[in-house]
Amino acid sequence: AADVLTFGETMLAAQLPGPLAIGAEARTTIAGAESNVAIGLARLGHRAAWAGLVGGDEPGRLILRTLRGEGVDTSPAGVRPEAPTGGMLRERRVADLVRVHYWRRHSAASLLTPADLAPALRTGARVLHLTGITCALGPGPLEAVHEAAAHAHAHGWTVALDVNHRQRLWSAEDAGEALLPLLEHVTVLIASDDELPVVTGAFAEPPRGEEAAVDALLATGVREVVVKRGGEGAAFRDRAGYRHTVPALRVPVRDTVGAGDAFCAGYLSGLLDGLSPDGRLDRANTLGAFAVASDGDWEGLPRRDELGLLTAAPGATIR
Ligand code: ADP
Ligand code: KDG
């Protein structure tokens, strides 16, 4: 069995250092919130399994072999030859503004149904990691998320949900309605501070403000709420009333996309290692900083013996 099972859409991605233009040079990679988390975990030595669907095309093969190369277990993944692998383009439109374009409607990943996940659920895992993005891909993926969450909950796994709201995929209202019935199965809810109103928006009495939102979430059955605050760090609260916050590590900012996924990988790694809430938050914050300080979503993530690397003096050469 895996330590962590996750699933969702992974795409062929092109990253442009400037606006989209004829002849612009792009960097080719693969991107997907859930596979980013799986890679982060695998680099730290955890057994991470990814169960998504790709098309029977070259991008699909690139995704599978990249994940395998990173040590992610892709045996629960599938190929749908009748549909294409999804794609995304990321333009650095101006220095600190990145714009994303998606080609994911009718993609192979959007054809996911609960049946595709059944074998992976039978195999079992300690942790199931879900994100709101998968819920936005269509009715099949949404149903797959619900069934996986219910199964994992019933079997005593830890269920983590990263809200990961994507405005280009659905409205905050639709997201709130889809996520609400999931919460009874969720152990750890992870959200950016600005995503808290998205999850609590469909509550009978939507709470106002972060403190009230976290209270309301902890009253649903969620045991821990972890709030990501970008360059400000992160905060933790649990049902027992324990609170902790960490300031962000001071690192040069290269590319902030993927920080949230790296953060989730760090948090789950800490959970698997049996760390305290403070230790989990530290590891999450450390992985988030690695993602921010390097190009790409996951390419710069650390191996276990590199976890302390960011404490080296700025500009240091390690020799
Ligand atoms: P998301 O990518 O989901 O929007 P955030 O931007 O909040 O997530 O980043 C997730 C985490 O990554 C933060 O909670 C923090 O730990 C780390 N992080 C984000 N931005 C920075 C930064 N500028 N410097 C250092 N760490 C950062
Ligand atoms: O979290 C980073 C993601 O935005 C990226 O890897 C692609 O999954 C992705 C998405 O839906 O935006």
The pLDDT value recorded for residue 315 is 82
Does residue 227 have its Cβ closer than 6 Å to ligand 1? no
Pocket test for ligand 2, best of 54, 66, 85, 166 (most atoms within 8 A of CB): 166
Instruction: Tell me how far the alpha carbon of residue 228 lies from the centroid of ligand 1, in angstroms.
Output: 6
Q: What is the pLDDT of residues 26-52, one digit of tens each?
A: 999 999 999 999 999 999 999 999 999
Residue 214 in domain: yes
Those residues of the chain that have pLDDT short of 70 are none
Residue 41 in domain: yes
Q: What domain range is 175 assigned to?
A: 2-8+33-83+106-302
CA distance 319 to 309: 13
The pLDDT value recorded for residue 95 is 86
DSSP result, 57-113: SHHHHHHHHHHHHTT-B-TT-EEETTSPPPEEEEEEEETTEEEEEEE-TT-GGGG--
CA distance 307 to 28: 26
- 160 by DSSP, 3-state: which? strand
Residue 46 in domain: yes
**CATH number of the domain that residue 213 is part of:** 3.40.1190.20
Closest CA to 290 of 271, 319, 264, 317: 264
Q: Give the chain's domain count.
A: 1
Do 34 and 129 form a contact (C-beta atoms < 8 A)? Answer: yes
Residue 312 in domain: no
The pLDDT value recorded for residue 130 is 98
Closest CA to 54 of 5, 12, 20, 96: 12
Q: What is the DSSP letter of 227?
A: E
The pLDDT value recorded for residue 121 is 98
Instruction: Tell me how far the alpha carbon of residue 104 lies from the centroid of ligand 2, in angstroms.
Output: 12
CA distance 194 to 166: 12
Residues known to be catalytic:
261
Does residue 263 have its Cβ closer than 6 Å to ligand 1? yes
Does residue 31 have its Cβ closer than 6 Å to ligand 2? yes
Residue 23 in domain: no
Does residue 292 have its Cβ closer than 6 Å to ligand 1? yes
What's the mean per-residue pLDDT of the chain? 97
Q: What is the amino acid identity at position 104?
A: R
Residue 15 in domain: no
Which-ligand-closest: CA of 169?
2
Do 192 and 260 form a contact (C-beta atoms < 8 A)? Answer: yes
Does residue 260 have its Cβ closer than 6 Å to ligand 2? yes
Instruction: Tell me how far the alpha carbon of residue 219 lies from the centroid of ligand 2, in angstroms.
Output: 29
Residue nearest to atom 1 of ligand 1 (CA): 260
Reported ipTM: 0.97
Residue 308 in domain: no
Instruction: Tell me how far the alpha carbon of residue 261 lies from the centroid of ligand 2, in angstroms.
Output: 9
Residue 67 in domain: yes
Q: What is the amino acid identity at position 202?
A: A
The pLDDT value recorded for residue 228 is 98
